[in-house]
Amino acid sequence: MAIDVVMPRLGWTMEEGTLVDWLKSPGDAVAAGDLLFTVESDKALNEIESMDTGTLHIPSNAPTTGDVVPVGAVIGYLLADGEQGPAEVPPPPAVTGASGAAASSATATATATATATATAEAAASTSSPTPGKSVPISPRARKLAKELGVHWESLSGSGSTGRITEDDIRTAAQNAAAAGPAPQSDGGQLASTESITGERTPMSPLRRAIAERLSLSHRDGAPVTLTAELDATDLVELRERTKPRPAFNDYLIRYVATALDRHPALNTSLSGADVVQREGIHIGFAVDTDKGLLVPVIRDADGKSVEQIARESSALSGRALRGELTGDKMTGGTFTITNLGAAGIDAFTPIVNPPQGAILGVGRIAQRPAVHDGQIVVRWLCVVSLTFDHRIVDGGPAARFLATLRQMVEAPASS
């Protein structure tokens, strides 16, 4: 009997993935453990192993490379010797989200994740009904409706048993945007009824992931930003003398890791009502790619030299730019650095990357007039901005963290 090859669930919030490439060709023999295909989910590229053995069969109507495929949709089959494969794959499941996704035969962990998520969502949607409303809605759809300002009570759900899904919410939001805002009374004045026109492009999974994370940070956090100007003249001279020459960001990753070791309050996260002191110092650094912002992580950065960090960051940046960065290289970060100096930006306000508690924004290092040893001279100066969640960190520890960072940047030979 033909074994289904389906789009796996690779995370709690994954509803669809992009089929990037088949690593086997139709007619190839596939053994359990072989890499079968590549999937892009949210920000990560994942190589999927087969859990079964057989000959790969891909019907003509199956999704092709580049297609966005719902979780649980059949994309091919594994056949026994001499077996005739189905002529077509079935339509993708109508249900979106965890409750409607079939468990993947391509990965055992996907099965456990899909089952656990479906159980949790089903329990939440049935245990917390909205008063006077019998139409069920998933918790994630309810949250998305609140973010987009959609009144879901009047919608008809497309999910199983009429449940309202995230796709229903997005569709309602798009329809409302296309129709334009409704007139509203405001002190005798009517709100604008101008509709938004122009070419529409659906958000990519990566763009949606970025939007949801940043919305979460802005909505749930209590961000405060401290800004400091650093004299990087000695650091510029040190870098000029170093061969091979690290990037300025490599020095900053090392110095930030040391500062976090001395000021661990900035290396924390909020979990429920608990402040969690993170184990290890793992520094994420933002990389601007054609597909969006990716944040690979340098693990245990406090135990690595600048040269080691330079080699690792260069390799990770290259993989990010080529679209080869896997999920395990972007998880577990405890603090993030985002550097817009190369774009000519002097200063900006970064947004905390949840569940982390703080992020450092770095502007360009530029020659400016400064007072040094009582004289007005030209120095290499840099503005850094530390945004932190004031729910878990006070201004004092944050200011002391920046003071330590300034000391190391301005006297790098002793750092």
Question: Which range among 78-87, 115-124, 164-173 shows the weakest confidence by mean pLDDT?
Answer: 115-124
Q: What is the structure's pLDDT at 188?
A: 43
Mind listing the pLDDT tens digit for each residue in 96-114?
443 333 333 333 333 333 3
Cβ contact 315:247 at 8 Å: no
Mind listing the pLDDT tens digit for each residue in 296-321?
999 999 999 999 999 999 999 999 99
Strand partners for 289: 292
Let me know whether 102 and 150 are in one domain.
no
Q: What is the structure's pLDDT at 43?
A: 63
State whether residue 277 is helix, strand or coil.
strand
Q: Can you tell me the mean pLDDT for 65-87? A: 92
The CATH number that applies at residue 71 is 2.40.50.100
Let me know whether 19 and 152 are in one domain.
no
Higher pLDDT, 382 or 107: 382
Average pLDDT of the chain is 83
State whether residue 112 is helix, strand or coil.
helix
State whether residue 399 is helix, strand or coil.
helix
- State the pLDDT confidence band at 266, using cuts at 50, 70 and 90: very high
In a domain, 120, yes or no: no
Let me know whether 232 and 161 are in one domain.
no
Residue carrying structure tokens 């709100």 = 191
Q: What is the structure's pLDDT at 153?
A: 75
State whether residue 91 is helix, strand or coil.
coil
The CATH number that applies at residue 275 is 3.30.559.10
Work out the burial of residue 320: count CB atoms within 10 Å of its CB; fewer than 13 is exposed, 13-18 middle, 19 or more buried.
buried
Residue finishing a domain among 180, 215, 234: 180
Q: What is the structure's pLDDT at 348?
A: 97
Cβ contact 404:263 at 8 Å: yes
Pairing label, strands 335-339, 283-285: parallel
Mind listing the pLDDT tens digit for each residue in 210-237?
787 788 787 888 999 999 999 999 999 9
CA distance 329 to 351: 21
Give the CA distances from residue 156 to residues 93, 142, 152, in Å, rounded to whole numbers and listed in that order: 18, 14, 8
Q: How many domains does the chain have?
A: 3
In a domain, 340, yes or no: yes
Let me know whether 90 and 139 are in one domain.
no
Share of the chain above pLDDT 70, in %: 81
Instruction: Domain of residue 144: give its range.
Output: 135-180
Let me know whether 259 and 325 are in one domain.
yes
Q: Give me the active site residues, please.
A: 390
In a domain, 191, yes or no: no
Q: Can you tell me the mean pLDDT for 352-359? A: 94
pLDDT at 291 over 90: no
Mind listing the pLDDT tens digit for each residue in 162-214?
778 777 787 777 776 655 444 444 444 444 445 677 888 887 777 777 787 78
Residue finishing a domain among 113, 145, 164: 113
Let me know whether 236 and 297 are in one domain.
yes
Q: Can you tell me the mean pLDDT for 67-71? A: 89
In a domain, 192, yes or no: no
Let me know whether 157 and 228 are in one domain.
no
Mind listing the pLDDT tens digit for each residue in 1-60?
899 999 998 876 678 888 988 999 999 999 998 999 999 876 677 889 998 999 999 999
Q: Can you tell me the mean pLDDT for 122-151? A: 57
Please choose, from the candidates 329, 333, 311, the residue with its C-alpha nearest in 3D space to the C-alpha of residue 320. Answer: 329
In a domain, 206, yes or no: no
pLDDT at 281 over 60: yes
Let me know whether 162 and 37 are in one domain.
no
In a domain, 59, yes or no: yes
In a domain, 382, yes or no: yes
In a domain, 374, yes or no: yes
Higher pLDDT, 283 or 171: 283
**CB proximity list for 4: less than 8 A, separation 6 or greater:** 74, 77, 105
Let me know whether 269 and 361 are in one domain.
yes
Let me know whether 330 and 400 are in one domain.
yes
Let me know whether 246 and 381 are in one domain.
yes
CA distance 157 to 344: 48
